[in-house]
Amino acid sequence: MLKKSTSAATSNVSAAVPANRKSFIYALIAIIPGMMMVMLDSTAMNVAITSLTQDFQASFETLQWVINGYMLAMAVTVPLSGWFSDRIGAGRAYLTMVLLFIFGSLLCSLAQNAGHLIAFRIVQGLGGGMIQPIGMAMIYRLAPQDKKGQIMGMLGIPMLIAPATGPILSGWLLESMGWQWIFLINLPIGSLAVWLGLRHLCKHDHLQKTHNKQQPFDRLGALLAPAAFVLLTLSINQQSSSNWEYLVMGLTGVLLLIWLCFHELRHEYPILELRAFRAYRFRRGMIVSSIQYAALNGSLVYIPLFLQKYRSFSPFDAGLIMSMLAITSGLLMPVGGKIYDRFGIRPLACSGLGTIAVALLLLSWISDTTHHLQIAGIVGLLGIGMGLCMMSLNTYMLQSAPASMISRITPLTAAGSNLIIPVAIACLNNFLAIRTFSLTVNVYKDNPVAAEMAAYSDTFLLAACIALGGAFFSLLLNPPQAPSK
């Protein structure tokens, strides 16, 4: 069955190298602006919620759906991105989603109340969910075989610059021009992406449709995957998770996810290519990548909270400290890509996760008297670890899977990270609450602030242990067979 599903696309993938380097560079330039636009907008909204509560005279709980609705919409479309890309061609699919994102951004800027903004953010998310997995699949497919690690490492630079500059840019736009410009800034960026894409993507021979009209569409998978991811994302991201309604949602999502797994493994042309997990290299790569996301992304949310709560940093100053993550990781990602092409994944994954573990251990020692330059240096050390292993692990997983599955693998990895990150944040948040209560009752009875700071230290220490475990597990990673069939 696997041979049937892969043989039809083999001819399209075998010519993965573009006709010349110039055409590949043009394609790369066309893809990056759209991916940066989505990530910039996603992180910018986190800073804007407080201002929007005042402008719309709405509660914080209501406006949280500006973020949650966006995430839910992305959860719906991510599983469908591989099929959509094969159906109409990767270039056309990418530009269609960029246009939808631009349209949603324009609607968001015209919102008159919180309800309008939530609805329009859902439109935005429907487009944004597909842009990153389709973009990454196109870049990997077009990259020369012996330069894939280096190219994917370079791709990580804009992927991290956008999230790092998003909060800073958002704070400046809110203070000087108004919240509408958080969305209006997407119009020129998106228009540039569409113009470049029309010139360099739609006519590219390696980005045309690979879907055979005689192949049956996986209707059940197309229903189960979005439903499972929506219910799981909704239940995980609810602050009031003790409410039985959200527990039922989570349980239902888990059951649908199990049903989806059994169905996709049996379907000849599935929406999500779960058969890639039969390749043990891909399976191990996914485990290490999940550990990295859990330890790093799960703990990153607590650093600006600590700075603002206990060091009285402004959101802008906290954003400047966090920008060290993007600077150091951006510098290391091209280096990591070159090392990957020459030595493979094992030294990168082990040293990267080890560096993350050391940085998180240092974070567990910070106090209310730690100098801000020391904290910035620790955040920069986190970025070094991320730069070494993040994009290299993504490249490793793509190379470990059968080549004909590439357009279906990136939605699979994106959906996995969309679930791992909120689960990690929720688990670390529960651990933080439990430790705060325990320390307040048993140790710092008259000093709740000291109890909370100690609980933060324990949370960073737990994340460091997770990263260290990932570093040891990464020693089991083996170089993928090339080319994978």
Residue-wise pLDDT for 60-98, tens only, equals 667 767 776 787 777 778 777 777 887 777 888 889 999
For helices 346-363 and 372-400, give the axis angle rounded to 10 degrees: 150
Side chain identity, residue 367:
S
- Interval 176-211: pLDDT, tens: 787 888 888 889 988 998 898 888 777 665 555 555
Dihedral of the alpha carbons of 49, 369, 165, 182, in degrees to the nearest 10: 20
Q: What is the pLDDT of residues 303-320, one digit of tens each?
A: 877 887 777 777 667 777
The Cβ-side half-sphere exposure at 156, using a 13 Å CA radius, reads 31
**Cα angle 385, 389, 393; round to 5:** 160
- Alpha-carbon span 320 to 324, nearest angstrom: 7
| pLDDT at res. 436 | 87
Please report how many Cα atoms fall inside a 13 Å half-sphere around the Cα of residue 463, on the Cβ side: 37
pLDDT at position 39: 80
In this structure, are residues 295 and 363 in contact, taking their beta carbons and an 8 Å threshold? no
**Secondary structure of residue 216 in the 3-state scheme:** coil
Helix 406-442 to helix 219-236 angle (10° resolution) is: 20
Q: Is the Cβ–Cβ distance between 5 and 401 less than 8 Å? A: no
Tell me what pLDDT residue 60 has: 62
Radius of gyration of the chain measured on its C-alpha atoms: 22
How far apart CA 479 and CA 392 sit, in angstroms, is 12
Domains of the chain: 15-209 (1.20.1250.20), 220-230+246-268 (no CATH), 273-485 (1.20.1250.20)
**Residue appearing with tokens 């998310």:** 125
Quote the pLDDT of residue 452: 85
- Under 8 Å CB-to-CB from 49, ≥6 apart: which residues? 60, 63, 64, 66, 67
- H-helix or E-strand containing 225? helix 219-236
* Alpha carbon distance 305, 302 (integer Å): 5
CA atoms within 13 A on the CB side of 209: 9
Residue 45 burial (CB count, 10 A): 22
What's the confidence (pLDDT) of residue 3? 38
* 154 vs 349: CA distance, rounded Å: 17
Q: What tokens appear for 228 in the block?
A: 């499972």
Residues in the chain, pLDDT under 70: 1-20, 46-47, 49-50, 60-61, 64, 68, 145-150, 152-164, 167, 203-215, 233, 236-243, 315-316, 402-407, 480-485
Which helix (H) or strand (E) segment holds residue 135: the answer is helix 114-142
DSSP one-letter code for 479? P
**Segment holding 20, helix H or strand E:** none
CA distance linking residue 271 with residue 282, whole number of Å: 18
- DSSP class of residue 371 equals -
Question: Half-sphere exposure of residue 235, counting CA atoms within 13 Å on the CB side?
Answer: 20
Q: Please report, for residues 46, 104, 166, 311, 440, the alpha-carbon distance to residue 121 in angstroms, rounded to integers and kept in the order given.
A: 13, 7, 17, 33, 40
Please report the pLDDT score of residue 296 as a whole number: 85
Taking the C-alpha atoms of residue 275 and residue 258, their distance in angstroms, rounded to an integer, is: 14
Report the distance separating Cα 141 and Cα 85, nearest Å. 13
Give the tokens for residue 247: 């527990």
Tokens, residue 350: 């082990």
pTM of the model: 0.72
Ramachandran sector of residue 26 (left: φ over 0; alpha: ψ -120 to 50; beta: rest)? alpha
